[in-house]
Amino acid sequence: MEQQVQSLYANITLNDVQLAAIYYPILVDLARHKHCLTYGELVKRAKESHPDAEYVQRAIPVSAGRKLDVVRLFTSERGLPDVTSLIINKTAGECGNG
């Protein structure tokens, strides 16, 4: 397990961390209100909340799962709930693999 965590850290980019930091408060808000969003809706909400952040405006739903992995790592290390499960696949209506 330690090897797996180290390898995940080695692959995290600055963009992953930046967007994870944007997505996390959105996820916490979803949890408070007992709602779910699709990957596309998450990205849209982030863009609406941060219209002047170029890196947020460039975000795409297909890479959101990678950013959610960073959120999951953050919450897991701190013993916090995995709020990433609130993001679901539009077609299947289920959270993605991760």
Enter the pTM of the model. 0.84
26 domain residue, yes or no: yes
Q: What is the pLDDT of residue 72?
A: 96
- Residue 93 within any structural domain of the chain: no
Residue 85: name the closest of 31, 8, 47, 45 by CA.
Answer: 31
Q: Does the residue 94 lie in any domain?
A: no
Query: 62 is in which domain, residue-wise?
Result: 2-88
For the chain, which ranges sit under pLDDT 50? 1, 5, 98
Domains in the chain, number: 1
The answer to the question of residue 78 being in a domain is yes
47 part of a folded domain = yes
In a domain, 55, yes or no: yes
The pLDDT of residue 1 = 46
Q: Which pLDDT belongs to residue 4? A: 52
CA distances to 6, 35, 44, 68 from 23, rounded to whole Å, are 23, 14, 11, 8
Whether 95 is covered by a domain: the verdict is: no
Cβ(86)–Cβ(30) below 8 Å: yes
